[in-house]
Structure 1
Amino acid sequence: MLVFMFCLLFCSSTDALEFRYHNTVQMEQYLKDVNKMYPHITHLHSIGQSVEGRELWVLILGQHPREHRTGIPEFKYVGNIHGNEVVGRVLLLQLVNYLTSHYGSDSVVTRLLDSSRVHILPSMNPDGFESSKPDCIYTVGRYNKNGVDLNRNFPDAFEEGNEQKRESEVRAVMEWLKSETFVLSANLHGGALVASYPYDNSNGGSEQQGYRSVSPDDDVFVHLAKTYSYNHTEMYRGNHCSDLQSFSSGITNGYQWYPLQGGMQDYNYVWAQCLELTLEISCCKFPPEEQLPALWEANRAALLAYMQQVHLGLKGVVMDSSGQIIPHAVVEVLGRNNLCAFQSDVNGEYFRLLLPGKYMLKVMAPGFKTVIQNVEVPYGPDRFSALTHNFILQHSDSNSDSSTPAQSSCSSCELPVKDPHNSATQLNNTLTALLLQTLLLIMMMN
C-alpha cells in the first residue's frame, strides 16, 4: 500500500515511458514493472502465445483487477493485430501509463477504473511487429509468422467454411472472449483515420441496405463511432489523410468501406455479445518516432471517452423469485434480431448497450415463464453507470407454460447464414433454372 501511495504522489507519466517503439522484450518488461508498481489496480497475465512463442500479454486495470465483480462491466482495447500497424501498440502502452499515473488524482480516470474493469492487449501480433519495417504503406510485418492476416482468420457469420484453421493468436483471443463477459471493445489499426463499425461482411441478405451492411444495433454503433471521432482532434473532419477517401463525420460502416471476411469486430459482436469498433488512428502505418507524441495527444481524449461508453444502456441480474441466479437466459430487446441472442452469463448478469429511450425487453429461460417489460433507459456514461434493471422470473407451472428454451451456446459457427430470399443461394437457384431451360430448348431444337 505504501508503494501504491508513493506512486500516486511521485510517479511521473512523462518520465515513466518514452515515446518510442519498444520491442517485445521491452514491452513485456514495462508491463511487468507497471504491475509491480501498481499491484492494487493492475493484474498482468498472458492469454496465449504467438506462433513463435511470444506471450500475448494483457494488463487488467481496475479497483478489483483480479476478478469480475457484479455490476462492473468489462472493457478491452486490442492493438497491433497487424504487426506493421504500430501506433496502436504505442498508444496503448501510453494509455496504461496515463491510467496508472493519474488514478487517484484525475477524477475521470479514477471513476473509470472504479466503475469498470479495463483489459489492454497492446500487441496481438508480436511476431509481425518484430519483422516489420518503418513504412507508411507497405505490408512488411502485417501478417503473423505463418503469413496469415489475423483480421481475416476469425469465424464469419456470413461465410461458409468456418472450419478453417485458426492461428494460435486468434485461438487465444477466442478463448479470452469465453473467459470474460466483455461489453465494449475496440481494436486499433493504422493507415487511415476513421472509426469503422459492424458489419464488415454480408451475404446479401436483409442486413445489406444499399452499400451498408447494417446490424440490429446500428444506432449504437454509429453513436460509439462518433464518440471516438468527435473526441479526436482530427478524425471527425473525415479527410485528414488527403490521399484517401473522405469519411463523413470520420466514421464508416465496415462493409461500405470494403467487405472483409473473418474480421475480429464482427466475431466479437456476433458470438461474444461485445460491441467492437475498428479504429484507424494514423494515416501512416509505421510513422517516425518524432510523430508519436502528437499522435498520443490527438487520440488521448478519444480513448478515454470511448471507454466511458461501456456505461451505456442497461445492466442487471436475471434471477428467480428466491434470488437464485439464472445463467444463459435470453435477454432480448424486441425489434433487434441479433444473429446470436444476448444472454445472461454464468453469474446471471447481462449487459446491453442501448441509447437513451424506451425499450421493450423479453427475457426467457427454460422452465420459467417469459417476462416482457418496458424499460426507459437514461444516459449512463455521465454517471459512470448504466441503468441497473434486474429481472425476476417465475417458475412455470407446466411444460406448456415454459418459455422457449434459451440458446445454449453461440460459440459454434453453425448459423443460418444464407437468406434464401435475397442471397447467393437465390442467385445459384436462378442460374440453375436458366441452365435447365436452355438445355430443354436445345433438345427441342435438335
Structure 2
Amino acid sequence: MDFARLWLGLLLPLVAALDFGYHHQKDMEEFLKNVAKNYSSITRLHSIGKSVKGRNLWVLVVGRFPKEHRIGIPEFKYVANMHGDETVGRELLLHLIEYLVTNDGKDAEVTKLINSTRIHLMPSMNPDGFESVVKPDCFYSNGRENSNYYDLNRNFPDAFEFNNVSRQPETAAVMEWLKTETFVLSANLHGGALVASYPFDNGVPGEPPRARLWLPEPRVELRTLRLEGTVLPKHPNGIENMYFIRQISSGMQDYNYIWAQCFEITLELSCCKYPHEEKLPFFWNKNKASLIEYIKQVHLGVKGQVFDQNGNPLPNVIVEVQNRKHICPYRTNKFGEYYLLLLPGSYMINVTVPGHDPYLTKVVIPEKSQNFSALKKDILLPFRGQLDSIPVSNPSCSKTPLYSDLPSDSAATKPGLFLFLVTVFLVFVK
C-alpha cells in the first residue's frame, strides 16, 4: 500500500494545475514562487524592479542553465500586461510557464527547447494598472496606464523625436534589465486587436508613411520570422508595420530593436482587452503552439564568437550582415558572442574592429534547420597581437533622435535596399 502511494506521489505534478482565471499579484506571486521552488533546477525567479506602488516586476527564467548566461545559448523573452487592462497575455504566460516546466523530460520539443534556450517570462510589466481595474471592459479600462497615469508604451527613448517625459519606474527597470542580458528575440503581448506588428512604430516627422519603408534599417529579419499560429488577419497577412496602423512614439518595441540589440515584435492577441474568464481556455488553446513556435525562431541564422589571433574572445566588435547596417551597430557581448537572425541563404558577414579594416567572411545557412541551434560560426580575426583598443564595456548609443538629420533622398534610403524581403508565413489554427 505504501509503495502504491509512493508511485502515485511521483506521478502527481509538483505544482497544482493552474486554473483558468485572472490571477492578481498575490496569487501570481504564489504560483511563481511554487514553480521556482519545485522546479529549481530549470527555473530562476527574480524581480527586475518595482512598480510605482512597490509591486515586484517578476521574471521567471526557464532553461537548463537558468541562473546565468551560457555561451551559445540564446536569450529569449516574453513581456505581457504592459497595459494593465490588456490581460490575456498575462494569463497566457502563466500557463506557458506551467506547460514548460511540467513537460520538461516528457515532451521532446519542450525538452529540446529548455536544453537550448534561456527563456525569460514577465507576466506583468504593469501590475499596478492591472490591480486598479474596477470595471473590466473590452475597449478601455482605467488600468491601462501605471499608477502615475503614464502609458508605459510611450515612455521609452525614441529614435525619431525627442521624448522628455518622466521615465517611469517600470520603464527604467526594463531598460536596466535589457543591459544585463544578450536578448536575441522577444515579443510584447498586448490586446485590443488581432495582429502581429514589427518596427518601426514611429517615423520621420513630416514624411508620409510610405517613406518609412525605405529607411536604412535591416528589418528583413523581423519580416521573415516564420510565425505559426493564431494571429488572425485584421490586416493583410495578419502582420504589419505598426507605422501603417497607427504611429506610436517612444514604444518599447523600437527601443528593443534599436538600443538593446533585440528583435522584438508586438502580438495583439484578442480584440477584447479584458475578456471574461471563461474565454481564457480558448485563448490558451489557440495560442499555445504559436507561443512555443515563436520561441524556436531564436535559433534561426548564425551565431558564434569573435577571437583575436591569440584565441581571446573580443567584446564590442561590430558584427553585421554586409549592407545591412543598424543605426546602433550590433556588437559582441562580453564573451565575444554574436547572434544574427537570418533565413537560409548565403551572406557576407562584416566584422569591424576599431583601428582595423573591416573583415569579411562568408556564411551559408542551410535549408535544413540545425535542430534548435543556429549555424555555429566562430570568427578568428587575422590581426596580430592583443586588440587593446576595444573597450571593456558596451558603449551606449545616443538616446537623442537618430534620424533627425537623415537625407530624405540619399542612396541608403532607396527602395532597392529592401528588394530581398521575403514572404512571411502565417499558419492559422482553425
TM over 0.5: same fold? yes
1:301 is displaced (CA, Å) by 0.5
Q: Secondary structure at the match of 1:30?
A: helix
Residue 442 (structure 1) aligns with? none
The alpha-carbon distance between structure 1 residues 379 and 143, as it changes in their structure 2 partners (threshold 3 A), is farther
Provide Cα deviations, 1:351-409, integer angstroms capped at 9, x if missing partner: 1111111111111223555311111123575610001111111335899xx99999952
* 2:402 partner amino acid: P
Residue 404 (structure 2) aligns with? 418
Distance 1:212 1:8 in 2: 56
* 2:275 partner amino acid: P
The alpha-carbon distance between structure 1 residues 28 and 370, as it changes in their structure 2 partners (threshold 3 A), is same
Residue 269 (structure 2) aligns with? 281
1:165 is displaced (CA, Å) by 2.1
Distance 2:54 2:250 in 1: 23
Distance 1:29 1:264 in 2: 28
Residue 195 (structure 1) aligns with? 196
The alpha-carbon distance between structure 1 residues 98 and 347, as it changes in their structure 2 partners (threshold 3 A), is same
Residue 42 (structure 1) aligns with? 43
Distance 1:176 1:270 in 2: 15
The alpha-carbon distance between structure 1 residues 141 and 357, as it changes in their structure 2 partners (threshold 3 A), is same
Give yes or no for contact 2:204–2:212 (8 Å, CA) kept in 1.
no
- Corresponding position: 1:394 with 2:371: no
1:291 is displaced (CA, Å) by 0.3
Residue 378 (structure 1) aligns with? 366
Aligned residue pairs total: 402
Residue 231 (structure 1) aligns with? 229
TM-score norm. by structure 2 comes to 0.87
Residue 149 (structure 2) aligns with? 147
Distance 1:404 1:45 in 2: 32
Distance 1:144 1:404 in 2: 40
- Corresponding position: 1:327 with 2:325: no
Give yes or no for contact 2:158–2:401 (8 Å, CA) kept in 1.
no
1:217 is displaced (CA, Å) by 3.0
1:419 is displaced (CA, Å) by 3.5
Q: Secondary structure at the match of 2:289?
A: helix
Alignment of 1:124-143 (within 5 A): 124-132=125-133, 133-143=135-145
Q: Which runs of 5+ in 1 are unaligned?
A: 239-245, 424-446
Residue 253 (structure 2) aligns with? 265
Q: Which runs of 5+ in 2 are unaligned?
A: 1-6, 410-430
Q: Secondary structure at the match of 1:77?
A: strand
Provide Cα deviations, 1:243-287, integer angstroms capped at 9, x if missing partner: xxx311111111111110001010000001100010000110000
Residue 168 (structure 2) aligns with? 167
1:138 is displaced (CA, Å) by 1.5
Distance 1:298 1:49 in 2: 32
1:128 is displaced (CA, Å) by 0.1
* 2:28 partner amino acid: M
* 2:229 partner amino acid: N
Alignment of 1:288-299 (within 5 A): 288-299=276-287
Distance 2:291 2:67 in 1: 23
Distance 2:348 2:206 in 1: 26
Q: Secondary structure at the match of 2:331?
A: coil
Give yes or no for contact 1:137–1:191 (8 Å, CA) kept in 2.
yes
Structure with the larger RCO, 1 or 2 (CA within 8 Å, 6+ apart): 2
* 2:162 partner amino acid: E
* 1:290 partner amino acid: E
Residue 219 (structure 1) aligns with? 220
Give yes or no for contact 2:309–2:385 (8 Å, CA) kept in 1.
no
Distance 1:107 1:173 in 2: 32
The alpha-carbon distance between structure 1 residues 404 and 158, as it changes in their structure 2 partners (threshold 3 A), is farther
Residue 347 (structure 2) aligns with? 359
Distance 2:368 2:144 in 1: 38
Give yes or no for contact 2:310–2:385 (8 Å, CA) kept in 1.
no
- Looking at secondary structure, tell me which structure has more helix per residue: 1
* 2:167 partner amino acid: R
* 2:143 partner amino acid: G
1:10 is displaced (CA, Å) by 2.5
The alpha-carbon distance between structure 1 residues 113 and 54, as it changes in their structure 2 partners (threshold 3 A), is same
* 2:268 partner amino acid: E
Q: Secondary structure at the match of 1:142?
A: coil
Distance 2:407 2:222 in 1: 27
The alpha-carbon distance between structure 1 residues 222 and 9, as it changes in their structure 2 partners (threshold 3 A), is farther
Alignment of 1:331-346 (within 5 A): 331-346=319-334
The alpha-carbon distance between structure 1 residues 157 and 7, as it changes in their structure 2 partners (threshold 3 A), is farther
The alpha-carbon distance between structure 1 residues 7 and 37, as it changes in their structure 2 partners (threshold 3 A), is farther
- Corresponding position: 1:74 with 2:75: yes
Give yes or no for contact 2:309–2:382 (8 Å, CA) kept in 1.
yes
Give yes or no for contact 1:187–1:279 (8 Å, CA) kept in 2.
yes
Distance 1:8 1:345 in 2: 42
The alpha-carbon distance between structure 1 residues 389 and 209, as it changes in their structure 2 partners (threshold 3 A), is farther
| Aligned-residue RMSD, C-alpha | 2.7
Distance 2:208 2:76 in 1: 27
* 1:220 partner amino acid: E
1:422 is displaced (CA, Å) by 2.6
The alpha-carbon distance between structure 1 residues 367 and 103, as it changes in their structure 2 partners (threshold 3 A), is same
1:205 is displaced (CA, Å) by 9.2
* 1:373 partner amino acid: T
Give yes or no for contact 2:316–2:390 (8 Å, CA) kept in 1.
no
Q: Secondary structure at the match of 1:265?
A: helix
TM-score norm. by structure 1 comes to 0.84
* More divergent stretch after superposition (78-87 vs 163-172): 163-172
The alpha-carbon distance between structure 1 residues 118 and 29, as it changes in their structure 2 partners (threshold 3 A), is same
Give yes or no for contact 1:309–1:381 (8 Å, CA) kept in 2.
no
Q: Secondary structure at the match of 1:93?
A: helix
Q: Secondary structure at the match of 2:269?
A: strand
1:418 is displaced (CA, Å) by 1.4
